[in-house]
Amino acid sequence: MLPLLNDIEEDAFKEFFNISFGMTAATLSEMVDAEIVLSVPVFSMLPEQSVGHFIHELYGQAIGLVGMRYQMIFSEDHAIPGLAVLLVRADDLGHFVDALCGDAVPEEMASQMTAESMELTGEVLLYTCASSLSMLFATEIAGEKPIFFRGASENLPDYLTLADAGPEERNLLLLRVDFTLLEKNVSGSLLTWMDGQGLPLLKSGIDRFLAEQALN
């Protein structure tokens, strides 16, 4: 069970993220003109400095990803920093870009097209993910420009820190769903993680939603 949440709150919390990941996957399906199969979402808490190791265990050394930092703004003084990520193995990256472009990308243009396509895709998909969560939790959303990374997973810790990273290590709430693009030879993951200290704010958003549902 997630800290601070009872069974009903945790079920609602998971449903929020099911909806968000589902909307993001539907958008990706339209972009690549392919059916997408999603796994059951996975939720966990882990130290911020363990994210790079987590991704290495998940996808190995060579990866490609695009990430977008965001904030869910509950009020002027209360916000939760987070980061949304689209992640694939480096070996699948070319197939993924080909699917996005609708055809095989010429070798001489691959590097430029990969960076441009991934950043554009991140701008659409990751904002869809973050903004749908914001809508469900009834908050404002502020997102930064997505950044593309291709390289060794061991170089990720600095890249994947949250926007307001401080000197002290903190626990993160990590949410992950895996996807497969049928007939495109591509599999990957959609992930988002938030500052674990924001759980009380998330709880308040869930409780407000449940109270409104009870009145209807």
Q: Is residue 1 part of a domain?
A: no
Who wins on pLDDT, 58 or 178?
Answer: 178
Instruction: Among 72-81, 108-117, 149-158, name the one with the lowest average pLDDT.
Output: 149-158
- CB 214 within 8 Å of CB 62: no
* pLDDT value for 95: 86
Give me the residues paired with residue 87 across strands: 65, 189
Give the pLDDT mean for 126-134.
91
pLDDT in tens, 7-48: 998 888 888 888 999 999 999 999 888 899 999 888 888 888
Reported confidence tier of residue 4, pLDDT bands at 50, 70, 90: confident
Q: Is residue 65 part of a domain?
A: yes
Q: Is residue 68 part of a domain?
A: yes
CA separation, residue 145 to residues 2, 33, 84 (Å): 30, 25, 11
Q: Is residue 147 part of a domain?
A: yes
The count of domains in the chain is 1
What is the domain range of residue 70? 7-211
What CATH number has the domain bearing residue 117? 3.40.1550.10
C-alpha span between 34 and 176 (Å, rounded): 21
Q: Give every CB contact of residue 119 below 8 A, 6+ residues apart in sequence.
A: 66, 145, 146, 147, 148
* pLDDT value for 86: 92
Q: What are phi and psi of 56, to 5 degrees?
A: -60, -45
Would you say residue 157 has pLDDT above 60?
no
Would you say residue 98 has pLDDT above 60?
yes
59: left (phi over 0), alpha (psi -120 to 50) or beta: alpha
Q: Is residue 58 part of a domain?
A: yes
- The first and second tokens of residue 33, run together, are 């003109």
Q: Is residue 216 part of a domain?
A: no
Q: Is residue 85 part of a domain?
A: yes
- CB 207 within 8 Å of CB 8: no
